[in-house]
């Protein structure tokens, strides 16, 4: 019924360092369907960000196979097959908010009217109308991160890769942005791969939660959520939510992730 | 608009008291000497009144005190200049009273600057005037003290001419100075500057494109930077002739390297996230260069442009010492010093200083416009 967006088969990645090889990823098998919201959760050093970067072709796997939109990650990147949101907003300070959102569109070579229309539409999606002419440093951290999401959405990809996008924000802003992200996902039926180290955030947002453990980075458990697609923040008080959160916590514990991780 | 003031600090109090005491001293020594120096007597009275009233005003209103002190110290300075111009310092040395009064009026001017800096206002025009006025008082008093010392002590003109002598010379040799300026600044400096900076910039891009060049060209650039200018100037004269072309060549050599290293450093200033971002957009080399890395490098490039603006002028003037047609700032300096016309040398120095500052200021202004977004510029950009 739905098709695979990302197929990962026995993937591994080993970094060669001066202290010998580091196994960042090992024996990763993952299948992500169109419309899924998949969270990668785990302690620092478990390879969740590395896995996301492999999907985005920012790192190259050293073993196994991976297909994004049915082609190699490199081909998917060159076809602008995904939007990527980084931990920091990474907006260019010399461009206004509107110009920042329009940056990928300029690189894609779209004409002026299309760019204008897409910038307006995507800024409206993240509730940033009226801030087009502001510079990034005149906006709060939460607004900057929303602008960077609008910039990723402006490419109009079916796949959105997000690397702890709300990690640097305070909890109130974070809750608010989580709600907005969920609404956005509900409206557009995009596929989202979301890296986080917060259990409530992962459970609240996701249809699938991939629990990872370090040394070597591998998948410990994949928890399928039975929560409805439309959720409010209140859902975090329900028994179903707590059951899923517990299973995720057990998965993290089973990976011995708390014993040997320093931070 | 103008806030009432803070009580004067201990240092400032000393300035008032010092000025008052010196005024009294000046008056006393005058009574002893009985010179026909009524001008100095009135200056002494002025200084005493200025210090006493200024001290009272300072506790109530900074702005009024500042203006009062500025006015009285300027008047005192004017009196002293008039006194000097009627006095023949060659036959008899000036009375001690004169020196007391010089120091006293200087102290008043100092107190006025210190009051001006206390003025606290949001008004843009007042702040704008203050940013010009304060350094102006400083500069003018530097010239005044120079004038007083050289005239009062009858310093030989070969050693140090008075600012008024230099000013005279400046006004009376405008055609010569203009010809020199055209030859040295407009022909040698500007041509060399533009060529050297663009060459440094282009080579930096080449180096950025190819690691091979980075390994090969950067050390050569280092070597060029280490070449002594007095060594290459005569060689450039042999290669490119006596006219401005050889000076421009020296300027090219001097400005090339700062531009090269700064641009190379600037091109690696973009953060990892921003580069990754360009990668996710599948941007090619030139897109990522023009849309990300060059804007990010701008503060570095402007740094080089500013450094080079002063280096270029030095280079061109020094290069003219090694052979030139009979025009040019360096040529004039080297020949006039041989003729003991030191005031002409100073006039050339004044022109060079003015041209150099304006050049630098112009680049700094461009920088402010082009890198308004940079944290170091933001406060002025809103």
B282 and A80 within 8 Å at the Cβ level: the answer is yes
Mutation pick from B273, B275, B281 vs chain A, by most beta carbons of A within 10 Å, is B281
Q: How many CB atoms lie within 10 A of CB B365?
A: 10
Which of A91, A92, A96, A156 is the best mutation test for B, with the most CBs of B within 10 A?
A: A92
Domain boundaries, chain A: 4-81+158-254, 89-156
Inter-chain CB proximity A93 and B282 less than 8 Å: no
**B229 and B137 within one domain:** no
CA distance B253 to B311: 10
State in Å, rounded, how far the first CA of chain A is from the last one. Answer: 42
Class of the domain covering A4-81+158-254: alpha beta
B146 lies in some domain:
yes
Cβ–Cβ gap A86/B287 under 8 Å: no
Q: Do B277 and A78 touch (CB under 8 A)?
A: no
B2: in domain: no
B98 and B147 housed in the same domain: yes
Q: Which of B276, B281, B374 is nearest residue A104 as measured by Cβ atoms?
A: B281
- With an 8 Å Cβ cutoff, is B280 touching chain A? yes
Task: Give percent of chain B above pLDDT 90.
Answer: 16
The three-class DSSP label of residue A36 is coil
Give the integer Cα–Cα distance in Å for A108 and A98: 16
Confidence tier at B24 by pLDDT (50, 70, 90): confident
- Tens of pLDDT, residue by residue over A65-112, are 888 888 888 888 888 888 888 888 888 888 999 989 998 888 888 888
pTM comes to 0.78
**Residues on chain B touching A57 (C-beta within 8 angstroms):** 279
Closest chain B residue by Cα to residue A82: B280
Query: Could you report the per-residue pLDDT of A190-211, keeping only the tens digit for each?
Result: 888 999 888 888 888 888 888 8
Mean pLDDT of B117-122: 78
Which range, of A101-110, A145-154, A156-165, A237-246, averages the lowest pLDDT?
A237-246
- Best mutation target, A50, A59, A60, A86, to test chain B (most B CBs within 10 A): A86
Contact B181, B330 (CB under 8 A): no
What is the four-CA torsion angle of B121, B125, B128, B132, rounded to 10 degrees?
Answer: -110
**Residue A262 scores a pLDDT above 50:** no
DSSP, res B167: H
Average pLDDT, chain A: 82
Q: Can you give the pLDDT at residue B5?
A: 61
CB B322 within 8 A of CB B242: no
- Which of B126, B155, B184 terminates a domain? The answer is B155
The domain that contains B181 carries what CATH number? 1.10.3720.10
> What does A83-150 look like in DSSP terms, one character per residue?
EEE-SS----TTS-HHHHHHHHHHHHT--HHHHHHHHHHHHHHTT-TT-TTS-GGGS-HHHHHHHHHH
The predicted complex's ipTM stands at: 0.81
**Which pLDDT does position A263 carry in this prediction?**
42
Mean local confidence (pLDDT), B36-59:
75
Average pLDDT over residues B113-126: 81
Which chain A residues have a beta carbon less than 8 Å from that of B272? Answer: none
Comparing CB atoms, the residue among B276, B283, B374 nearest residue A107 is B283
Look at residue B283 and tell me if it is in a domain. Answer: yes
Domain that holds residue B230: 171-380
Highest mean pLDDT among A168-177, B82-91, B355-364 belongs to B355-364
> B284 to chain A: nearest residue by CA?
A107
Q: Do residues B126 and B28 both lie within one domain? A: yes
Does residue B164 lie within any of the structural domains?
Answer: no
Is the domain of B177 the same as that of B90?
no
B263 and B301 Cβ atoms separated by less than 8 Å:
yes
**Closest by Cα among A199, A103, A217 to A151:** A103
**How many domains does the structure of chain B reveal?**
2
Domain boundary among B96, B121, B155: B155
A103, A134, A147, A153: best to mutate for the B interface, most B CBs within 10 A: A103
| B221-270 per-position pLDDT tens digit | 778 778 788 888 888 888 988 888 888 999 998 898 889 889 988 988 88
Q: Is B266 found in the same domain as B239?
A: yes
Higher-pLDDT residue of B305 and A88 is B305
- B294 in the same domain as B150: no
Band (B1; pLDDT cuts 50, 70, 90): very low
Contact status of A167 with chain B (Cβ, < 8 Å) = no
Kindly tell me if the per-residue pLDDT of B191 is higher than 90: yes
Among residues B104, B123, B155, the one where a domain terminates is B155
Are both B215 and B313 inside the same structural domain?
Answer: yes
Dist. CA B1–CA B295, nearest whole Å:
40
Give CA A60 to chain center in angstroms. 18
**B345 and B222 in a common domain:** yes
- Chain A contact for B373, CB < 8 A? yes
The answer to whether the Cβ–Cβ distance between B281 and A94 falls below 8 Å is no
State whether residue B290 sits within 8 Å of chain A by CB.
no
Is residue B232 domain-shared with residue B376, that is, in the same domain?
A: yes
- Comparison of pLDDT for B81 and A262, the residue scoring more: B81
């Amino acid at each position: 019924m739905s098709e695979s967006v990302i197929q990962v088969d026995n993937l591994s990645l080993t970094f060669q360092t001066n202290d010998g090889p580091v196994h960042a990823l090992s024996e990763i098998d993952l299948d992500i369907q169109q419309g899924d919201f998949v969270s990668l959760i785990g302690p620092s050093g478990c390879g969740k960000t590395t896995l996301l970067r492999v999907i985005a072709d920012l790192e190259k796997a050293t073993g196994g196979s991976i297909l994004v939109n049915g082609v190699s990650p490199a081909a998917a990147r060159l076809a602008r097959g995904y939007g990527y949101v980084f931990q920091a907003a990474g907006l260019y300070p010399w461009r206004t908010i509107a110009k920042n959102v329009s940056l990928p569109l300029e690189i894609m070579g779209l004409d002026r009217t299309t760019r204008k229309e897409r910038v307006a539409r995507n800024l409206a999606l993240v509730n940033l109308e009226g801030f087009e002419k502001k510079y990034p440093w005149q906006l709060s951290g939460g607004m900057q991160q929303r602008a960077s999401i609008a910039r990723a959405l402006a490419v109009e990809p079916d796949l959105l890769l997000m690397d702890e996008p709300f990690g640097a924000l305070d909890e109130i802003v974070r809750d608010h942005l989580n709600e907005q992200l969920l609404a956005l996902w509900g409206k557009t039926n995009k596929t989202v791969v979301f890296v986080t180290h917060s259990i409530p955030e992962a459970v609240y947002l996701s249809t699938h939660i991939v629990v990872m453990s370090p040394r070597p980075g591998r998948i410990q458990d994949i928890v399928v959520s039975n929560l409805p697609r439309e959720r409010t923040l209140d859902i975090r008080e329900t028994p179903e939510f707590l059951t899923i959160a517990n299973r995720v916590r057990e998965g993290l514990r089973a990976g011995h992730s708390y014993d040997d991780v320093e931070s | 608009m103008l806030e009432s003031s803070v009580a004067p600090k201990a240092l400032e109090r000393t300035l008032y008291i010092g000025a008052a005491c010196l005024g009294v001293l000046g008056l006393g020594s005058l009574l002893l000497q009985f010179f026909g120096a009524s001008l100095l007597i009135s200056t002494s009275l002025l200084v005493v009144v200025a210090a006493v009233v200024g001290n009272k005003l300072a506790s109530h209103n900074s702005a009024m005190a500042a203006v009062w002190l500025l006015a009285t110290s300027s008047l005192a300075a004017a009196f002293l200049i008039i006194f000097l111009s009627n006095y023949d310092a060659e036959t008899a040395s000036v009375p001690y009273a004169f020196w007391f009064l010089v120091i006293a009026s200087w102290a008043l001017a100092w107190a006025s600057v210190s009051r001006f800096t206390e003025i606290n206002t949001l008004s843009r025009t007042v702040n704008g005037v203050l940013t010009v006025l304060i350094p102006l008082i400083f500069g003018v008093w530097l010239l005044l003290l120079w004038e007083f010392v050289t005239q009062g002590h009858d310093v030989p003109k070969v050693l140090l001419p008075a600012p008024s002598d230099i000013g005279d010379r400046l006004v009376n040799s405008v055609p010569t100075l203009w010809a020199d300026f055209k030859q040295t600044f407009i022909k040698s400096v500007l041509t060399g500057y533009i060529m050297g900076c663009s060459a440094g910039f282009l080579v930096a891009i080449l180096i950025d494109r190819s690691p091979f060049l980075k390994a090969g060209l950067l050390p050569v650039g280092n070597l060029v930077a280490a070449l002594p200018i007095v060594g290459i100037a005569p060689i450039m004269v042999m290669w490119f002739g006596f006219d401005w072309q050889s000076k421009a060549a020296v300027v090219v050599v001097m400005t090339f390297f700062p531009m090269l290293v700064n641009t190379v450093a600037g091109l690696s200033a973009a953060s990892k996230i921003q580069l990754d971002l360009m990668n996710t957009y599948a941007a090619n080399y030139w897109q990522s260069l023009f849309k990300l890395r060059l804007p990010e490098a701008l503060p570095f490039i402007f740094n080089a442009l500013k450094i080079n603006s002063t280096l270029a002028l030095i280079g061109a003037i020094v290069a003219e010492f090694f052979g030139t047609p009979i025009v040019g700032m360096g040529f004039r300096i080297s020949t006039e010093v041989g003729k003991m016309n030191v005031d002409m040398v100073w006039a050339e120095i004044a022109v060079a200083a003015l041209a150099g500052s304006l050049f630098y200021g112009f680049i700094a202004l461009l920088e402010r416009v082009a890198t308004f977004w940079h944290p170091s510029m933001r406060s002025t950009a809103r």
